[in-house]
Chains A and B, each alone.
Chain A
Amino acid sequence: MEHECTCSTKFADVDDLRPLEEIIERYGSEKGALIPLLQEAQDAYGYLDEKIMREIAKRAGYQFSQVFGVATFFAQFRLKPIGEYLIKVCHGTACHVAGATQITDEVANQLGIKEGETTPDNKFTLESVMCLGACALAPIMVVGDDTHGKLKPTSIKKVLKHYAGPSGSQASEGDDAE
């Protein structure tokens, strides 16, 4: 199923170290586990707070600089919290040619935020990403876990409305295919 849990308390609080302990436990002393450790920590907390990175360094036996270096190298790691739904607008080649810029502009317009920002109600964060591998249906946008294809600036409003209700009350996926 596409939409499993969309409860409002999706992410753990950075003061609660239990999820992190569990993750570190699981990877133990596995060789080269730093990237998966950070990935799972981000999944649990929504982003990589400095406190979390320091804990990882201390508990899993890395230099903090090493942890921070990896976290800032890869595009996927975020050092700031995100909203309930992360909107990723694809700016890969096919989507660029198909008008991805207008899609980002329209989402930004509708939400009143710029790329990289989160709405004041913490509902949406807007990001640009590289190819999502659904180029044949360009332009593409992913909201939370759902991929939306063949977008037009005119279809954005409807897509966003679908997620805009109170936390966790995402409307059921209608027949919104063209």
Chain B
Amino acid sequence: MSGNGNGHAYKVVLGYGTCGIAAGATAVKEALEQEVESGGYDVDLDIAGCMGLCFKEPVVEIFDRDGCSVVYGDITAKKVPQLLEEHVGKGQVIEDWVVKKSEDPNACDGDFLANQLRVVLRNCGKINPESIEEYIEIGGYEAARKALTSMTPEEVIDEVSTSGIRGRGGAGFPTGTKWGFARKSPGDEKYLICNADEGDPGAFMDRSVLEGDPHTVLEGMILAGFAIGARQGYIYCRAEYPLALKRLDIAIEECHQKGFLGENIFGSDWSFDVKVKKGAGAFVCGEETAMMASIEGQRGMPKPRPPFPANSGLWGKPTNINNVETFAAIPWIIAEGGEKYADIGTEKSKGTKVFCLAGKVRRTGLAEVPMGYTLRQVIFDVGGGIAGGREFKAVQMGGPSGGCLPAEKLDTQVDYDQITAAGAIIGSGGMIVADNRTCMVDLARYFLSFTQDESCGKCTPCRIGTKRMLEILERICEGKGEPEDIEKLQILAGDIKDASLCALGGTAPNPVLTTLRYFKDEYEDHILNHKCAAGSCPALITLYIDAETCTGCAACVKVCPTDAITGEKKEPHVIDAEACIRCKMCLSRCPSESIIAE
């Protein structure tokens, strides 16, 4: 953007996505509105989606007339008067609160952004997602206009094929090839679906894109609809994302007003429209055949493929499904050219991928990096390493279908094939970082309880097999594991992988298999020594108080549900191991971190 886009001395932009709101952005918004009014500041207030700096939310970015900006983090309503008074009133930057300055990309935590390359997230946090004008001002809808008025559908598909982009929904299927199938499939009535179900716990890039830049996704869909010959598109968005749903509705309405959706788009003879379908809470509906069943109003159960959606999809018609992030990259590819996209990345994985950094990493948030970065670069250079000075133990990638990679795999490049070879999958791009307090057996149990719960029940290997595996894992976590259990898990895992109807069951054993591959000693420790070294599994740990550091504040005594903690005031306390039920309520209460779980 040139300047700050209007005549005001400053433009103040508040990050107003779900994460910002969760961190208190609503109170900041009210405070900003109030202060600007009462202080009479010459300021244009605006909102934007998530910038990806989630660890610093609520985030406020202030632009001056030249377009130079300063990003402030951890802003609270209380800080707002001072922020406006110093920065806007006196033109003085409050250095202590700065996350990033435009002339100095390395300021403080600026390397979180400096180490990224943003294609999909190019507008997130920069424009007001509820204003089509702001999107148009930065070149939005030009790619769609160009394609619809001067390209053939085949040329659009060629450009996408040249880019080498592979679907970002998990399986990594080449998008150009998929569109080619749908284009060639006979029939006049075809459908396009945007998969915004984002069921993988720990992934939130689709939400961030939908909340921060919904028009990019719509533009990608207009291009795809034109390329394959679909006149009706659906966005299947999970109900857990109310803000994304609201912004999509606004964006679609704006498109109708501008004539970018509807009849004869951009004056061409092409017509295309988009409807939003709200999910109803079923992980399996992220699978394409289950999703189509759900759009048709049935229970979301997968069907065997073939027939593939390209031949017989929604209401039996040729259908093409892509993920939100895939669609969001398309306008860039058409505008900048497929070759430019293909220049980024590795031989077989092109372009950039958005990863969601969460868990025990210092800077949690969105990291869009070129394919080929190493895990170490993503977690340590972008993510800043492990929080609280602890030790890196593993990174979980690909959610319930994925796996955990240990420290010795940190130099693996993020590339579909290399991550798969290492034992995990890129999947949707969730990266949950675990430190030495995370128990890998418990994590495997957690994922199995997830898949077991989400199994639709149609096929037996998935319905019953995951239940048996879960029972074994629960038993191990309770200290009742048997030495044969490891082999039993492996056999069951193989059977479930081979015999399940859809990829939900087919990939469900993965979290168990990779933890067995890299952390077998932890399973053995649980089974043979009845120990959980991470201090996590309640049945296998003892809680005690470090007498050296305990200040005798009695905070723990107040919360202990079984009155297991005793001691004189201001003297070290003790936990009665017999009475302790290891609920760990006391752990988070202790101001001196004197309670130890082992």
Chain A residues within 8 Å of B, Cβ to Cβ: 2, 31-36, 38-39, 69-70, 73-77, 92-99, 102, 105-106, 109, 129-138, 140, 145-150, 152-154, 173-177
Contact = CB atoms under 8 A, between A and B. Distances in A.
B491 interface: no
25 contacts: A2-B21, A76-B239, A93-B202, A94-B201, A96-B201, A97-B432, A98-B359, A102-B587, A109-B585, A130-B240, A131-B200, A132-B18, A132-B240, A133-B204, A135-B203, A135-B204, A135-B358, A136-B19, A136-B55, A140-B22, A147-B22, A149-B57, A153-B559, A153-B589, A176-B24
A145 B241 CA distance: 11
B588 interface: yes
Contacts of A34: 297-298
Tell me what chain B mostly uses at the interface: helix, strand, loop, or mixed. Answer: mixed
A33 B297 CA distance: 6
Contact of A131 (B27, B202, B277): B202
A136 B364 contact: yes
B316 interface: no
Contacts of A31: 296-297, 315
Contacts of B364: 135-138
B22 A148 contact: yes
Contact of B585 (A95, A102, A149): A102
Contacts of B587: 102
Contacts, number: 175
A34 B23 CA distance: 36
A173 B24 CA distance: 9
B378 to A, nearest CB: 14
Contact of B359 (A76, A97, A130): A97
Given A137-B19, A145-B242, A177-B58, A93 B201 contact: yes
A138 B360 CA distance: 10
A94 B450 CA distance: 13
A173 B561 contact: no
Nearest to A155: B588
B488 to A, nearest CB: 25
B400 to A, nearest CB: 8
A138 B78 contact: no
Contacts of B577: none
Nearest to A147: B22
A37 B446 CA distance: 33
B475 interface: no
Contacts of A106: 585
